[in-house]
Structure 1
Amino acid sequence: MNDFTWWSASGPWLEVIPNTTETLATIALPPSGLIYSARMAGREMVDPDGVFTQFYEHLLLPEYFGWNWNALRDCLQDLSWISATHFLLTIDDAEFTLSGSPEERVIFHRALTDAAKYWATKPELPGQKKTTFRVILLSSLQASRALAAEFDG
């Protein structure tokens, strides 16, 4: 694991962490403000419908959610229905997420990364606090190396 704070403006905004890692609280704790944490089950996300269902249920996506990748991307870059300034998405057993569909997995990872970059680079408007958005993918030690390589590649 890199020596960084999950909430820094410079990123990384998405981190792959082995589920055996002990994480220092000083790295994981968000800055002051309202935080929304969604913890999702990668084992329930083996196909796109599973991904959309986990996000719909855990991020309380609006009724108009379109159940497709573009709709998920749009919602991740909005989040106005949740009163928070800091968002932490955690996916347990992340190696199972879309494990049978490498093409869709790339699309999913890109949607997560794009959302994190969007929030990191969105200008802070007067009277509003900066929104932070982080994604943590928890997986086995062996799988974490492969997952990290997918983002580096």
Structure 2
Amino acid sequence: MSSWWNDSTDQVTVCSRSALVELAAVLPAAGRFIVVRLDGTRMTDADHAFYEFSDALLFPGYFGWNWNALSDCLRDLKWLPADGYLIVVENAPRLLPCSVEDRHTLFQILAQAVRHWASPFGQPEFKVVLLCDRDDEAALLRQEIADAVHKMR
């Protein structure tokens, strides 16, 4: 069993498709868990990223279609109550290919949302997994996320 799920409470998790994960390590023992699958190839720019997240997580009509609104919605989710949330982004290395700045902003927002929900006081679990085709892609993406998150501190 891989322990990536339990070891990544305060960060976005990056793994290759070859990583082995037991279902029990991903899902909570009980309760309602929402799993959302997104495709990085569909998020070619910020507007497409906003659409994909909004569509998958059923963002409310007041969603503002900007980075601040995405951050706010990912840290709220009261319209979609659950005991936990898992966001899986396939083809993650292909996210936002035309703007490194937007890509880093998205990584920062995802990391902030994971940290926001990581509370010992019974808040829902919130995990983000970025899937890569190969181990070398995963290693590069991990470093890019670390750099982006380091910039926001």
TM-score by length of 1: 0.87
**Correspondence for 2:99:** 101
How far off is 1:85 after superposition?
A: 1.6
Answer yes or no: is 1:134 the counterpart of 2:127: yes
Q: What's the % identity of the aligned pairs?
A: 34
Structure 1: which 5+ residue stretches go unaligned? none
CA contact (8 A) 1:39 1:90 kept: yes
Name segments (4+ residues, structure 1) moved above 3 Å: none
Structure 2 counterpart of 1:132, which letter? Answer: E
| Aligned match for 2:138, one of 132, 144, 149 | 144
TM-align CA RMSD: 2.0
**Correspondence for 2:70:** 72
Structure 1 counterpart of 2:81, which letter? Answer: S
Higher helix content, 1 or 2? 2
Looking at structure 2, the residues matched to 130 and 139 of structure 1 have their Cα atoms a distance apart, in angstroms, of 29
Name the SS of the counterpart of 2:118 in structure 1. Answer: helix
Give aligned pairs, total: 146
Superposed, 1:3-152 pairs within 5 Å as: 3-4=3-4, 6=5, 11-121=9-119, 124=121, 129-141=122-134, 142-152=136-146
Structure 1 counterpart of 2:140, which letter? Answer: A
TM-score by length of 2: 0.87
Name the SS of the counterpart of 1:147 in structure 2. Answer: helix
How far off is 1:99 after superposition?
A: 1.8
